Structure formats: structure tokens, C-alpha cells
Amino acid sequence: MTNTATQISKPILFLSAALGFLLTLAVMNGDASGRVNLLYLLLIFVAVPLFGALLSIVGLLSRDGINSAKLVKALPIWTNSQRANMRMLERQQLSKPWYFVQSQAAALAYSIASLAAFIVLLLTTDINFVWRSTLLSADDLLPILRVVAAPWWFWESAQPTMTLLEQTRDSRLLNSMANAQVVGQWWLFVLATQITYAFLLRGILLTCGRMYLATQFAKWRVTHQQQSKLPPSNAAEPTVDLAEPTQVLPTEYVLLNYANLPLEITKTLGLGNAKAIDLEQRYNTAVVVLVKAWEPPLGELHDFMRLNHGVLCPVYYRHEAALPIPAQYLDEWRRFTLQAPNWQLYLAPQGIVQ
Amino acid sequence: MSAKNIPRFAVVGHPNKGKSSIVSTLSRNDNIAISSRSGTTETAHSYLVETLHGSYALIDTPGFQRPRKVLQWLQKHCNSASERAATIKRFIASDECQHMYKDEVELLRPIAAGAAILYVVDGSHPYGSEYEAEMEILRWTGQPSMALINPIHSTDCIPEWENALAQFFKSVRVFNPLAAEFHKHTELLATFAHLNPQWSANIETIINDLKLARQAQQHESIKVLVELLEELCAHQHTQRVLNKQQAEAVKPMLEKQFKQWVKNREEQASAALLQIYAHQQTQVSLDKMQLPPELFDIDEWYIWGLDKKQLTYAATIAGAVSGAALDVAVAGHSFMLGAFGGGVIGASSAWFGSSKLLEMKLKGLPIGGYQATVGPIKNRNFPYVVMGRFIHLYRQVANLNHANRSALNINAEDFKQRVEQLEKSDQRELHKACERLLKQKSVDDLAATLAPLFELDEPSS
């Protein structure tokens, strides 16, 4: 999963970092006198990152996500394997958290590049931070700046002050600032806004996003492992021992029609006259019990067999004619007979297995 | 609805007449043990069938083992018809009967507790009077009942069973749990509603839920095919190498991996399909998919594995973005020439300079080279083969009753005819979608394009 995320995010990271570096260079260069409007910087380093982070969170929480993420996917720069990874993420229903993580990574790359560009400019050129406004005065602006600077309250030198505000107010009618040293003093405040609202905020969101993605992926993997495998082949039913049928009847026996076979059928068997069965009776001689081949042996027959001895004679018939017994029925009787001591399974000539 | 008001049906009868099969099919549960050997079910077990807005219980029971003796016991302990239901309860409560007639006690207990009776017989063999004892016992319970004739092997003896059963049951239906189509399940459920008027509203709700669930299952199946098609048509196995000779050397391994991946992916889709229809035990034998020959190729790659075209696009975007940054810096006074110029410079440098990247290294690591590739498959028939195989399996799975434990297979022979059965406009859409898939282009609402293929022989519900 980590590999997939890293692999796909490289071009995004590169593009974001390039954009951050170039935009910061362009904005921080200022005008011909190196003057940079502090209020523009607040827009770029506070309002835009906050709005962007909010948009990401809304995108993650909303049902359909934010379509800009899908636009990124439509860019013709993805390799087949990257597209396959994206499809896989969609299938796993992880594309939303994935887009969230990617956008945080992109924003982080943007802010790091932006910070780098800012530091390069601080080292190599003079940046003159000024502010201009038609409507706002220093008194109006200070409370706003204090709210912005609240997260780094402990960093005294990066806090805005009324004196600094008043000293750095600019007008385009004026050609130069009275004190060039003063206008550079905002750099700590600007650096702190970048670190807080771009770098730290996106870093926290990226960490949370990655943790959420990992949890969701783990959940998906558990379900997927259950769903993605075809059932293994069934183990064959255990073989059971079966009684060997006999074709010899006892010399003396009583024929019992347990199954209420029609008279026409009992006659065709040539076994003599069959009597109705009394399940409670104990016979002195062997008994031949006629059963329907297709009916499974019941407990009541088993009870009767415990009182007596003899043979079971399964009969299979249709339209008053005895027929060979299908193997599946005969096996059931063979299994049953094997468990009954003093009993055998008799196969009448008509009962030869199909 | 309270648990007491949930419709409950005890499925009873002679051993080995398909009681468990009926419960398995109606409850859509293929974990219920079914065997050709009698006596598989030894205790009564209740299966709750839950839908979105309702539920009912099916109780699988052991078969009658000593019906004649039990009837004798009941007759001996009952003085008048008004005491019959109470006598049944005494029979169930009796220690002696619990010991001697375990199966009958087990099967009568849920009925005495209020379950309706579904009496199951086999319609492929002749009726016998020995069944009358068990039917008489069931009549003694006084509970609403109906008979189901299960034609296990044939329908030969259904008329004689119908005549006999009509003497004991108000309603007699033929139901084959192995082969009955979905609409027959719902028809049968509708007849259950007549057994107890208090249950009819709930059963009606359940029937509606089942019909909606059936549609949802079809939609889910289409989604599985969409994913399968998109992935199989786009899939590529690659291996980065230093030169063309190395690429040739890895060809057999890559081809083997590619084929294995295709097989695994198709198995995954089949498993997902079985999961949608809640078939957990069904076996599927997947014949090997015939893949077109000559899937192997050797490509050049550049930074991040991009090919020449992708690198050009990436460089164009990067150039345009950089140019746009300059446009911003000069507050738009450049008339966006920065973005335009940056794009052109990026594109042309990537296009003309890419061949040099093949030889270049960054900190000792190459930033370009060759890669051996297998896939994606470009053969025009390939999407149809994938669809044909999947839909063939879908038709079997969607119509497979849970009592039917036979293995399924994949065969796409009739797929051409199936496509020809579609409306001409649907055929055109399908062909267009396949073309786009093969060109690695996204298809808008592929699911809607594939849906007519699934609806062709959907049985009316």
C-alpha cells in the first residue's frame, strides 16, 4: 500500500513543489523597490492554505468527494500501472482517502518549496514588507494579525506590534520608506505563518490521512481475503462399509409386507403370500421383510429387526412391474443392513442393480 | 415485529424427501447439510430468513421414524378430538416419549409452539398408505399446514400424490428446491401467507424485499464485471531492464506472471459473484482463458517510468505551470505568454530530448532505459471473451438454488448470439465501449452499457 501511494504521488509532488517555489519567488520579489504587500502574503500564506485544507476535509467527508481530485486522475501523465493502482483504490473504495493523502502531500511539498524559496530570497535579497489599505487602519489590522499569530504566542519576536504596523504602512505616492531596517522586520511573522498554516497544518493532515488510509485498507483486506477466494474443493464423502447382498433365502420363513406393496408386485416376486406386519411381534422363524427400495429405512423397522432375524428384501417397481433397483437406493439399504446383526439383504432376481 | 409474530414454518416429512433442500433454497443458505443418506438432520434447527423490512423462520426437522407407533400412543392417550392438540403437547413433554420417539418429539415441538406445517413428500415415487400415520399426526396438532411435492427425480407420481395429500391438506404445491426459478420461490412464499392471515402483511413485505434484493444483486454483478473488464483490458506486466537482450530474457517469466494474474483476477471476480448471491460452498471450474499470442513488447521509459508521450504531457504541464507563475509575477502583463511559452518549451524539450535520457544517470541511477512489457491485450475479441465467460457464470450463479451443490463451469460459446439478441443501439454502445477499453480510454457508465446483457433472460419476478 505504501509503495502504491509513493509511486503515484511523485509527479504530483514534483508539480506542487515547482509551483510553490516559482510562485513564492514571483510574489516575494515584489516591485522595483523590493516592496511586498503584507496583506497579499496573508492571503497566500494564511487564507489560501486554510481554505485548501478545509476543502480537502470537506472532500473527504462529502459523499462524492471533490471533483478536482478526479481531474488530476484524468491527466495524461499516468502509466498503466499507476492507472491500475487508481482503479484498485476505487475498487477498494479507498480512492477518497487516497486523494486526500495525495493532496496533503502535494500541499506539503508546495509549502516546503515555498519556505525554501522564501529563505533563499531572505539570504540573497532585501525584502521590504509593507502594507497598504484604503479602508483599514493599523488599529483595525492589529487584532486580526494577533489572531493569526496566536498559534506562536510564545515566539515574541514573530508577533505583530502596533509600532511595526504604523512604521510599515506604505503609500504608492511615497517614493521610499524612511527606515529600511524596519520594513524587513516582518520576515519572522511571515515565516511563522508559513510554518504554521502551510507546513504544520498539512503535515498533521497528512499524518492523520495516512493513518486513516491504513486503517481503511486493513479493513478492506480482511473483507477481501474472505471474498476473493473460490471455495476449496469439497472433501469426498467418507466411504462407508456396505453389506454384501445375498440371493439365497432362508429355507423356512415368514413373508411380511412392511411396505404395503400392491398384491400384483408381491406375486411377481414369487416369494409366497405376504402377511401384514405387526411391528411389535416376535417371530420364532426367520422373516423376509418386503420394503420399498426408494424409501429410507425407518426407526420402527429397526426396532422390529432387533426383535427378529431374517432378510430384508427391497423392491423397486413402477406401474405394477418390479424393476432393477437404482444403486443409490440399494446402497442405503446395504449400509443399514450392515449395522443389523442377524439380518441380511436379499436381492430378488428382479432387483439386480441398474 | 416481535419475535412471537415472526412467521414460522416447520418443514417436516419422511426422511430423505428434501426437507433440508427446501430450507436451504428458501433461506438462501448453502451451509445447511444435505446428503443422499437418510437421517442427516437429527435435531430441529431454525433458520431466520431476514430481509430489509421483514423476516420469517424456517425450521428444518428430522424425519418421522416411528409414525405408526406414535399415532398409537396418541390415540391411546386421547379421549376426544378436542384434546388432540393437548395430547401432542403431553407427548412432547413426556420423558418416556422423549426417549423412545426422539425424532417425532423433535419435529413436533416447533409445531406445538406455533409454527405452521410444510409437509414434504417426493413426487417421483408412488404414494403409499404408510404415510398416512404421519399426516394424521400432523392433523392432530391443529396447526395450519400445506404440502409440498418435491419431484426429486421425476414428476411421474405427482397426480397420485396430489389426490392423496388433498385429503389431509388444504393447499398442495409442487416445488423443486434444486431447480425452481426465483419467481417460483416468491410464488411459494405468497402461498405461505394464506396459512395464517396475521402473517400475510409481513410475507408480502418479504416478497417485495426479495425482489428488490434480486435487482440489487444484478447491479452488484454488473459492477464486478465492469471492474474485471477495466482491469483485464488495461493490465500490463513490466520489468525494467538495461537493454533489449535482457528484455528478451525476461519474456517467459513475464508472460507466465501475466497469465497467472489474469487467472487470479477472473477467479476473484467469480468469488465476488458467488458472494453476492450468498453461495459459499459452490465450486467453480474455470477453464483456462485463451489469451491472444504476441503480448510481449519492449518499450523505452524515462523519469518515473513514463513513456515518451506521457513524459511530453508531464513536461508540457510543468512548463505551463512555471510560465503561469511568471505571468502571476508580472500581474498578467505578459498576456499569459508565460504559460503558453512554458508549455511549448516543456513539450518540445521532452519530445526531442527524451532519447538522451536513456543514457543519463542521476547519482548512478539511470533515469531512462528499456522495459519488457506483457499486455495490455489489444485483441478486439478479448473484452467479449471476458464478458462471455463472466455472463455465462453469472447466469448459472443467479439461477442456482442453494440446495443445488453441483459445481459450475465457465463457457462462453453462446456469447455472440447473446450480443446479437441486444437492440442495435445497445450493440453499438457495447462495441464502442470495448473499443475504448482496448485503447485504454475510460468509458462513461460502462455499467449501463453492460446492463442489457444481464437483463436478456432475467426471469420475470
Domain ranges within chain B, ordered by starting residue = 3-195, 214-455
d(C-alpha B387, C-alpha B394), whole Å: 10
| Phi and psi angles of residue B122, each rounded to the nearest 5 degrees, phi first | -100, 115
Smallest Cβ–Cβ distance between B310 and the set A15, A76, A260 belongs to: A76
Q: What is the pLDDT of residue B363?
A: 58
d(C-alpha B276, C-alpha B398), whole Å: 9
d(C-alpha B425, C-alpha A172), whole Å: 67
Q: What is the CB neighbour count within 10 angstroms for residue A320?
A: 11
Asked if the Cβ–Cβ distance from A15 to B321 is below 8 Å, we say yes
> What cell was used for B215?
435487482
Nearest to A298 by CA among A260, A271, A258, A239: A258
Q: What is the pLDDT of residues A250-300, one digit of tens each?
A: 888 888 999 888 888 888 888 888 888 888 889 989 999 999 999 999 999
CB-based contact, B345 to chain A, within 8 Å: no
Asked whether the CA dihedral B71, B76, B78, B81 is positive or negative, the reply is: positive
Contact B386, B265 (CB under 8 A): no
CB-based contact, A29 to chain B, within 8 Å: yes
Q: Nearest chain B residue to A26 by CA: give it.
A: B329
Q: What is the CB neighbour count within 10 angstroms for residue B26?
A: 25
Look at the pTM and tell me if it is higher than 0.95: no
What distance separates the 2 farthest-apart alpha carbons in chain A? Answer: 137
Half-sphere CA count of B448, side-chain side, radius 13 A: 5
Contact B387, B453 (CB under 8 A): yes
Q: What is the pLDDT of residues B165-181, one digit of tens each?
A: 999 998 999 999 999 99
Q: What is the pLDDT of residues B29-60, one digit of tens each?
A: 888 887 777 766 778 899 999 988 999 999 99
| Phi and psi angles of residue B174, each rounded to the nearest 5 degrees, phi first | -100, 130
**Amino acid letter for position A113:** A
Residues of chain A in contact with residue B281, where contact means CB-CB under 8 angstroms, are: 231, 234
Residues of chain A in contact with residue B440, where contact means CB-CB under 8 angstroms, are: 80, 83
CB-based contact, B63 to chain A, within 8 Å: yes
Asked whether the CA dihedral A257, A261, A264, A266 is positive or negative, the reply is: negative
- Indicate the CATH number for domain B3-195: 3.40.50.300
Share of chain A above pLDDT 70, in %: 81
What average pLDDT score do residues A304-325 get?
88
Q: What is the pLDDT of residue A233?
A: 56
| Phi and psi angles of residue B186, each rounded to the nearest 5 degrees, phi first | -70, -35
CB-based contact, B15 to chain A, within 8 Å: yes
Contact A76, B313 (CB under 8 A): yes
Using pLDDT thresholds of 50, 70 and 90, give the confidence band for residue B273: very high
Using pLDDT thresholds of 50, 70 and 90, give the confidence band for residue A6: very low
d(C-alpha B440, C-alpha A207), whole Å: 34
Q: What is the pLDDT of residue B435?
A: 93
What average pLDDT score do residues B222-238 get?
89
pLDDT(B282) > 70? yes
For residues B299 and B279, the model is more confident at B279
Nearest to A228 by CA among B145, B124, B267, B353: B267
Q: Nearest chain B residue to A296 by CA: give it.
A: B38
Please identify among residues 306-325 of chain B the ones whose CB lies closer than 8 Å to any CB of chain A.
Answer: 306-307, 309-310, 313-314, 317-318, 321-322, 325
Question: How big is chain B, counted in residues?
Answer: 461
Strands (E), B116-234: 116-122, 145-150, 171-174
> What cell was used for A186?
516582518
Q: What is the pLDDT of residues B438-459, one digit of tens each?
A: 988 878 889 999 999 998 766 5
What average pLDDT score do residues A222-248 get?
67
Q: Which of B14, B41, B66, B302 to mutate to test the interface with A (most CBs of A within 10 A)?
A: B66
Nearest to A306 by CA among A280, A275, A329: A280
State how far Cα A2 lies from the chain centre: 16
ipTM over cut 0.85: no
d(C-alpha B150, C-alpha B157), whole Å: 11
3-state secondary structure of B102: helix
Q: What is the CB neighbour count within 10 angstroms for residue B244?
A: 11
State how far Cα A271 lies from the chain centre: 69
Q: Which of B35, B239, B310 to mutate to test the interface with A (most CBs of A within 10 A)?
A: B310
CB-based contact, A335 to chain B, within 8 Å: yes
Using pLDDT thresholds of 50, 70 and 90, give the confidence band for residue A196: very high
Contact A310, A271 (CB under 8 A): no
Using pLDDT thresholds of 50, 70 and 90, give the confidence band for residue B3: low
> What cell was used for A285?
422363524
Q: What is the pLDDT of residues A162-192, one digit of tens each?
A: 888 888 887 766 655 556 677 778 888 989 9
What average pLDDT score do residues B229-239 get?
86
**Amino acid letter for position B101:** Y
Q: What is the pLDDT of residues A245-264, one digit of tens each?
A: 888 888 888 889 998 888 88
Q: Which of A6, A228, A339 to mutate to test the interface with B (most CBs of B within 10 A)?
A: A228
Asked if the Cβ–Cβ distance from B68 to A228 is below 8 Å, we say no
For residues A135 and B293, the model is more confident at A135
Asked if the Cβ–Cβ distance from B234 to A231 is below 8 Å, we say no
What average pLDDT score do residues B357-363 get?
60
How far CA A7 is from CA of A79, A85, A258, B209, B306, in Å, comes to 10, 10, 78, 45, 12
What average pLDDT score do residues A138-146 get?
89
Please identify among residues 67-126 of chain A the ones whose CB lies closer than 8 Å to any CB of chain B.
Answer: 75-81, 83-84, 87-88, 91
3-state secondary structure of B94: coil
CB-based contact, A238 to chain B, within 8 Å: no
pLDDT(A24) > 80? yes
Asked if the Cβ–Cβ distance from B325 to A332 is below 8 Å, we say no
d(C-alpha B438, C-alpha B286), whole Å: 24
Please identify among residues 17-36 of chain B the ones whose CB lies closer than 8 Å to any CB of chain A.
Answer: 35-36
Smallest Cβ–Cβ distance between B125 and the set A26, A294, A297 belongs to: A294
Domains and CATH numbers, chain A: 2-172+179-227 (no CATH), 253-351 (3.40.50)
State how far Cα B232 lies from the chain centre: 20
Asked if the Cβ–Cβ distance from A22 to B322 is below 8 Å, we say yes
What average pLDDT score do residues B414-428 get?
87
Asked if the Cβ–Cβ distance from A26 to B325 is below 8 Å, we say yes
What average pLDDT score do residues B18-27 get?
92
Query: What residues form DSSP beta bridges with A128?
Result: A35
Share of chain B above pLDDT 70, in %: 89
> What cell was used for B59?
425450521
How far CA B388 is from CA of B127, B229, B438, B439, in Å, comes to 45, 11, 16, 20
Contact B223, B275 (CB under 8 A): no
**Helix-then-strand count for chain A, H and E:** 14, 8
d(C-alpha A274, C-alpha A296), whole Å: 21
Q: What is the mean pLDDT of chain A?
A: 80
Asked if the Cβ–Cβ distance from A298 to B65 is below 8 Å, we say yes
Asked if the Cβ–Cβ distance from B282 to A10 is below 8 Å, we say no
d(C-alpha B430, C-alpha B454), whole Å: 13
Burial of A252 (0-12, 13-18, 19+ CB in 10 A): exposed
What average pLDDT score do residues B252-274 get?
90
